[in-house]
Amino acid sequence: MYGLVNRGLEDLIRSTYGDATWSRICQTRGLDAESFSTMQAYPDGITYDLVGAASAELGVPAAEVLERFGAYWVLYTGRQGYGELFKLAGRSVEEVLGNLDALHGRVGHSFPAFQPPEFTCTRRPDGTLHLIYRSTREGLAPMVVGLIRGLGEHFQTPVAIEHTVVRGDGHPHDEFVLRVSTPQSPP
C-alpha cells in the first residue's frame, strides 16, 4: 500500500503514544522507523504488520487501530499538504462520499502500482446514503468507518454509520448505511 498510509499510521502512534512506542513497534517487526516515503507503494504486508504490532503494543484490537487510523488519516492528510487534494474531493461529507470513487479511480490510473478501492454512493429515498466499498484487500472495513468518522469531524457534520453488509459469507464486499446530519457550522 501507499507509503502515505504507513506514514499516517506512524504519525498517529508517535503523536498519541510517543516516539518510543513507535520505535518499539518497528523493532518488533524489524522495520526501520524512518524509512517510509509517502509516494511509494509498499507491500500490503507491512501495513498489516504495523497494525498488528500496534494492536499488540497498545493492547487494542486491530479493528480499533484501523478505525482510529482512518479517522486520524483524514485529519492527518488534511494537515500534511493534502488539503488541496481533499478540497478537490468535495466541500461536504456528502460531496466527498460522492466523489470517493472518481478520486480513487484517478489515483489508480495515475499510479499503476496502487490498487485503490472502489466506492458506490447512492442517496436513498429516506435521505440516508448507501455506500458500497469494494477492495482487493480484506479486513479494512473498520478503516472505512474511521475515515468516514474523520470526514464527519473534518466537516463538523455528525455521521451515523451502520455496517449493514459485512464482506465474507457469500458477500463479496462491504455495505454501509450512513445518516449525515446537517453541518453544525460551515467548515
Partner 1 sequence: MTREGLGPSDLDRVFPFHVAVDRDLRVTQIGRSLAKVLPQLAIGARLFDVCVLDRPREPLTYEVLRDRCQDLCVLSANHHALVLKGQIIVRDDADVLLFLGSPRLTTADELSNLGITIDDFGIHDAIVDFLFLSHAQQSALAEVREMAERLAAQRREVREAHQRITTLYVASRVFADSPSLAIALQVLVPSLAKTLGCTSASAWRQQEDRLICDIVFPERDRIPALRLGMSRGMIAGIFATGEPMWLPTGHNLADGIIPDPQPDSIDPPTIRYSGVLPVVPVCGLPVIDGGRVVGVIAFVAPTTIPRSDDLLYLLGEIATNLTKFTTHLRTTTELAAARDAALASVRAKTEFLANVSHEIRTPLSAVIGLSTVLHGMHLRPPASAVIDDIQTAGRTLLRLVDDLLDESRIDAGKLSIELATFDLVALVRAVASPLQATAALRNLPVAVELAPELRSDLIGDHVRIGQILTNLIGNAVKFTQRGEVRVRVRCVDADATTATLTVAVSDTGIGINADQLERVFEPFTQADGSTTRKFGGAGLGLSITRRLLTLMGGTIAVTSTPGSGSTFTVELRLARAPVDLAPTSATAPGSPNTSRTRTQPALAPAGTPTIAARRRVLVVEDNPLGQRTTRLMIEQLGHDVEVVGDGAAAIEAVRRTSYDLVLMDCHLPVLDGFQATAHIRALPAPTGAIPIVACTASVMIDERRRCFAVGMDDVVIKPLSPAELRRVIESTPPPATHLPATKSLGHVLDLARIEMLRELLDGNRQVALDQMIALFRAHAPEYLASIEIGARSRDLVALRRAAHGLHGMSLNVGASALARACADVERGAATGSLSSIDPILSSYQEVLTAFAALVGTA
Binding interface with ligand HEM (CB under 6 A) = 1-2, 41, 74, 77, 82, 85-86, 89, 96, 100, 103-104, 107, 114-117, 135-137, 140, 143-144, 147-148, 151
Closest to 181 measured CA to CA, from 131, 143, 129: 129
Cα four-point dihedral sign 25, 37, 101, 113: negative
Is position 56 an interface residue for partner 1 (rule: CB under 8 A)?
no
130 Ramachandran zone, left/alpha/beta (phi>0; psi -120 to 50) = beta
Is position 20 an interface residue for partner 1 (rule: CB under 8 A)?
no
Near partner 1 by CB under 8 A: residue from 56, 60, 88, 160: 88
Identity of the residue, 1 or 50, whose beta carbon is nearer to ligand HEM in the bound complex: 1
Partner touching 55 among ligand HEM, partner 1, none, CB below 5 to 8 Å by kind: none
From first CA to last CA, the distance across the chain in angstroms is: 30
Q: How far is the CB of 176 from partner 1 (least distance, A)?
A: 20
Q: How far is the CB of 139 from ligand HEM (least distance, A)?
A: 9
Near partner 1 by CB under 8 A: residue from 17, 42, 48, 111: 111
All three cell numbers of 71? 479517522
Partner touching 2 among ligand HEM, partner 1, none, CB below 5 to 8 Å by kind: ligand HEM
Q: Decide: 154 and 146 in contact? Cβ < 8 Å.
A: no
Name the site residues for partner 1 (rule: CB under 8 A): 34, 37-39, 81-82, 84-85, 87-91, 95, 98-99, 102-103, 106-107, 109-111
